[in-house]
Structure formats: structure tokens, C-alpha cells
Amino acid sequence: MKLAMTKLGGAKAGDIELDDSVFAAPVRTDIMHRMVNYQLAKRQAGTHHTKTRAEVSGTGKKPWAQKGTGRARAGDLKRPQDRQGGVSFGPRTRSHAFDLPKKIRFYALKSALSSKVADKKLVILDEATAKDHKTKTMVDALGKMNITNALIIGGAEIDANFARGANNIPHIDVLPIQGLNVYDVLRRDTLIMTKEAVELITARLNGTEEKPAKPEAPVKAKSRGAEAKKAQAAKKTAAKTASKKTAAKKETK
């Protein structure tokens, strides 16, 4: 699939070939819905916490006799029905995250990218760079492209002037390629990607991305104690062999 490529400001910059397996996949709203729920659940703090009757402050003394007072029996005054008592079945500190297979997450991203292409809401930039960090300059450039609500995806590193210029513009988000996600793609009207970002995300989703080589594990230095033990063991074995030889010589005599 070919798509026109533009420069910042709207000038034409040629065409780019898009991979159909990434940008022309079937749009599955059900899978995108699962992915958005996965992202929103994972980012929840989960710090809500209510105290049970075992955690609230108060004495554990029995307030009145079990029988004879006419009142309901009570073991302490920290029950849920008591004033300042504990809460039963209240929210507890926990993680709201749940698992989602990697294949589903990859397909959800493909589906989100394909939905933008199908709606003609994908814009490809040759590069996301700016000469200065002025917000007015960035507003003028995006205005020429008729963009008011967009997610801009750069390469592995974002140009500092470009990021600062777009930082104060409402409804404009700038992320590196590592931050590309389904939720941010869907929450903005237009998706703007650089040529480098297209190449990197295509390689990642097709499994052809070059992984960095793992650093070699440092060789552990031998401790002095271990060397001393080995030396002692060697002396003992030498002494045993020597004693055996002398004993054998005495027997032969």
C-alpha cells in the first residue's frame, strides 16, 4: 500500500510503502476493546484501602455481659455496625492488572493502525524536527495541515525543539516509537507518524526487529579463601601419596 508522505507544514515529500500486514489488517473492535481495558486496568494505582475490625483502633475488651443486660451480645466495639467500627468487604490495596496474550496485544495495535488508515486519519511525516522550540511556529505548521487533535509518533528519540514546541498545544501528544499504544492512538483524531516510526513499528510487529546483544556476564574473581582451600587439599593428597609409597617400600624390605 502506498501513502503520500508530507513535510511539517504540508509540503509533499514523496510516497512511502506501507506493509499490508500492519496497516491493512482487519479492524477488530472487540480486540481493541480488550486492549484498552488491559491498559487502563494496568495503570490503576490500586491504593484504595479500608480498615477491617482487626485493623481499627480500639480495645478488644468485652463492653458488657453476654446475658442479662437486654442488649445484643457483643465481643468488642469494632464491629461494622458500631460507630468508628471496621468496614466489611471494603476495597483493599491490590493490583487491577490482568494478563493479555502478546499475540492479542500485537493484533490490537495492528487493528488500531489499520483503523486510522481506513478512516484516512494517518499522516506520514518525513521527519519530526523543528528549527526552534516556539509554540507559535508549531501551531502555524499544524494549522497548515488542518490538524487540531493528533498523536505524533517520532522515532527512537524525539527532537527536543519539536517536543517543546508541541508541549503546550492542547489535544496534541508527542511520543517516541516505544510509547506507541492502542489507547493513545484511539483517543486522538489523527495519527501522525514519521518515516522512521513506520519502519520501526513494522519491524517490531512482524518480528524482524533487531534485538540488542546481551552484555557478557562478568567473570567472577576467585576468592583467596577458595585458593587457600585448594592448596591445602593438594598438600593433603600429596602427603597421603607419599605415606603410601613409604609404607609400600617398608613392606618390600
47 part of a folded domain: no
Evaluate if residue 211 carries a pLDDT over 60.
yes
Q: Are 23 and 146 within one domain?
A: yes
216 part of a folded domain: no
Owning domain of residue 174? 2-42+96-205
pLDDT for residue 25: 95
241 part of a folded domain: yes
pLDDT for residue 198: 95
Percent of the chain with pLDDT over 70: 91
Dihedral, CA of residue 144, residue 186, residue 168 and residue 138, to nearest 10 = -20
* pLDDT tens per residue across span 178-198: 999 999 999 999 999 999 999
CATH number at residue 102: 3.40.1370.10
Query: How many distinct structural domains can be found in the chain?
Result: 2
Evaluate if residue 219 carries a pLDDT over 70.
no
Evaluate if residue 224 carries a pLDDT over 70.
no
60 part of a folded domain: no
| Listed range (38-47, 68-77, 201-210) with the worst mean pLDDT | 201-210
- Supply the mean pLDDT for the chain: 90
Q: Are 198 and 243 within one domain?
A: no
* pLDDT tens per residue across span 74-96: 999 999 999 999 999 999 999 99
* pLDDT tens per residue across span 111-155: 999 999 999 999 999 999 999 999 999 999 999 999 999 999 999
Q: Are 241 and 199 within one domain?
A: no
pLDDT for residue 220: 57
DSSP sequence for 26-82: ---HHHHHHHHHHHHHHT---------TTTSSS--S--S-SSSSSSPP-S-S-STTS
pLDDT for residue 148: 93
- State the cell numbers at 184: 493513545
pLDDT for residue 238: 82
Q: Are 172 and 253 within one domain?
A: no
Q: Which residue has the higher pLDDT, 220 or 244?
A: 244
